[in-house]
Structure formats: structure tokens, C-alpha cells
Amino acid sequence: MLDISSTHFDQRLANMQAELKTLLKTHLGDNASHPLISRLTEHDTNVENLVADLSEEMDLTVYQRELTQLNDIAAARERIREGTFGVCVDCQAPIGVQRLEAYPTAKRCLSCQVIQEQRLSARNIG
Ligand SMILES: [Zn+2]
């Protein structure tokens, strides 16, 4: 068992989630009454499918960052429920409380994150 309080992080993630949802609702204005938006903002759900449905009806590119964050938060809370929160998905090492305090949605330890980013930028250049 890791030396982290998953309740503490679940609470932080829940707060982040609530803030983002309020932000999205504000941004969306009249569109916030859209049934799909209600589903997105009222339930603790994986937003990927919802976003796919919504993209057919409205341009979501300006909200991409918020939607990605919401998805990351939902995934992190899922990991808390599964008991895999705070464990690096690549090397299974503990991620470290300091890093998690800074990025509660982190799913990789710092060294694996650096490798991942190098891979991504290499792909962009290539
Ligand atoms: Zn790692």
C-alpha cells in the first residue's frame, strides 16, 4: 500500500472536476441546456463517448483542453477506486506524493513522463 491518502486526492480531483464543469457550463452559455452537456456536467463519467457525440453537433475544439482534463480527472478517480492511483502505468513505480500534489491526474512517474514526452516530440518532428 502506498503512503498516500487516496481520500485526499479523490477530494481534490472532485473539486477540480466541479470547477471544470462550472467553467464549461459558463462557456457554453445557451448550449449548456443541451442534453448531452447536462450528462457531461452532472455525472461522474468518462467523457470520451460524450465528446464524440457532441462533436457531431457543435464545435468543441475550443473546449478540448477542459474536456481532456475532465477525462484525465475521471480516469484518475477510476484509478483511486481500482487501487492503482499513484502507480506509474509504464514502470509500476510509485509516482511520488510531491508530483501527485502538483499533478493529481499524473499517471506516470517523472522519468517515464520525460521519456513519453521525448517520444511524442520525436513523432511530431518525424
Ligand atoms: Zn515510471
Cα of 115 vs centre of ligand 1, distance in Å, is 9
- Whole-number Å distance, alpha carbon 80 to ligand 1 midpoint, is 18
Of 107 and 30, the one with more pLDDT: 107
Cα(40)–Cα(60) distance, integer angstroms:
13
Q: What is the pLDDT of residues 53-74, one digit of tens each?
A: 777 777 777 778 888 888 899 8
Could you tell me which residues come within 8 angstroms of residue 51 by beta carbon, excluding any fewer than 6 positions away?
60, 67, 71
CB atoms within 5 A of ion ligand 1 belong to: 88, 90-91, 93, 109, 112
DSSP state, residue 40: H
Q: What rounded mean pLDDT belongs to the chain? A: 82
CATH of domain 6-125: 1.20.120.910
The answer to whether the predicted template modeling score (pTM) of the entire model surpasses 0.85 is: no
Task: Provide the greatest CA pair distance for the chain.
Answer: 46
- Dist. CA 6 → ligand 1 center (Å): 19
Position 89 scores a pLDDT of 95
Contact 88, 108 (CB under 8 A): yes
- pLDDT for 102: 94
